[in-house]
Amino acid sequence: MTVTLEAARSGFVAGVRFQWVAMRRDTSTYDALNIAPFQTLVLMSVMEFSGRGDLSTYAVVAPTLMTMWTCSLIFSTDLVYEDKEDGRMEALVAAPASFPLLVFGRLCGVMLLTLPAFGLVLLVAGGVFGYWMPMPHPVVFMAALTLAAAGAAAAATVVTALFVTRPGAFALGNAMVYPVLLLSGVLVPASKLPGPLEAVSRLSYLAWAAELLRDAADPAPVPYALPRLGAMLLLGVLMLAVGAVVLTRFLRRARELGTLAGDM
């Protein structure tokens, strides 16, 4: 199915607008932000009481990215479930706008909520442990944080396709949280992983984001900032392309199985 540029643009914009309206009506979406402070307390405690205060930056960056990835998985499952339960799925699929871009737009709308999670992490680290993370390179830091949020939305687009045809895929979504975080170098740098795992880690936008965010908190110049931001952007675009293809095929399969508007 050929998707025009206008259909793609209208699908994305409609998705973002739809989600913002939905979040104003249902504030339960904001509950996901509760993850960040508790993860910060745990990780900062580990660093402080093990005498590794020099790794406090890791304990600030990690909960931020962990919150993004966890929220993207949680919402990707809720998105399909609620659309089926409320009878919106068939209408959204039948709309002239691109459905994969509509899903991506909705996910981006939610991921905007995770950006303030960094502020919560900073408050907990500073208020409880007295560590106020420096930010000598704010432009690079915010660019990496924004691309990380967009990358999480793109990755969740791929995951969403599973829930269209497989009602039992919720368990898979839950199982993906910590293995992906561990292999992506969010807390433990990718360079410290065994050779084969390091190569796999480099394929994740989370690994690039974690390293860039940590480097942006260092007073030294950030090496190769633009190429590394470009790599994050490229990985996000590739994941979105894969998600669009997979979601389109799974929608076709759901129609054949009669599960498009079925119960979850």
Query: Can you give the chain as a three-state secondary structure string?
Result: CCCCHHHHHHHHHHHHHHHHHHHHHCHHHHHHHHHHHHHHHHHHHHHHHCCCHHHHHHHHHHHHHHHHHHHHHHHHHHHHHHHHHCCCHHHHHHCCCCHHHHHHHHHHHHHHHHCCHHHHHHHHHHHHHCCCCCCCCHHHHHHHHHHHHHHHHHHHHHHHHHHHHCHHHHHHHHHCHHHHHHHCCCCCCHHHCCHHHHHHHCCCHHHHHHHHHHHHCCCCCCCCHHHHHHHHHHHHHHHHHHHHHHHHHHHHHHHHHCCCCCCC
pLDDT given for residue 91 in this prediction = 66
Any idea what the Cα angle at residue 118 is, between residues 115 and 238, rounded to 5°?
50
- pTM for the whole thing? 0.85
pLDDT given for residue 3 in this prediction = 54
For the chain, how many residues are written?
264
206, two tokens: 């989370």
pLDDT given for residue 261 in this prediction = 55
pLDDT given for residue 1 in this prediction = 44
14, two tokens: 């409609």
Question: Measured between alpha carbons, how far is 189 from 192 in angstroms, rounded to an integer?
Answer: 6
* Ranges of the chain with pLDDT below 70: 1-9, 26-30, 32, 84-96, 164-175, 254-264
pLDDT given for residue 96 in this prediction = 66
The region, left, alpha or beta by phi > 0 then psi within -120 to 50, assigned to residue 130 is left
| Mean pLDDT, the chain, whole residue set | 81
pLDDT given for residue 247 in this prediction = 82
Question: Measured between alpha carbons, how far is 81 from 163 in angstroms, rounded to an integer?
Answer: 8
Question: Measured between alpha carbons, how far is 15 from 240 in angstroms, rounded to an integer?
Answer: 15
Burial 161-189 (b: 16+ CB within 10 A, else e): bbbbbbeebbeebeeeeeebbebbbbbbe
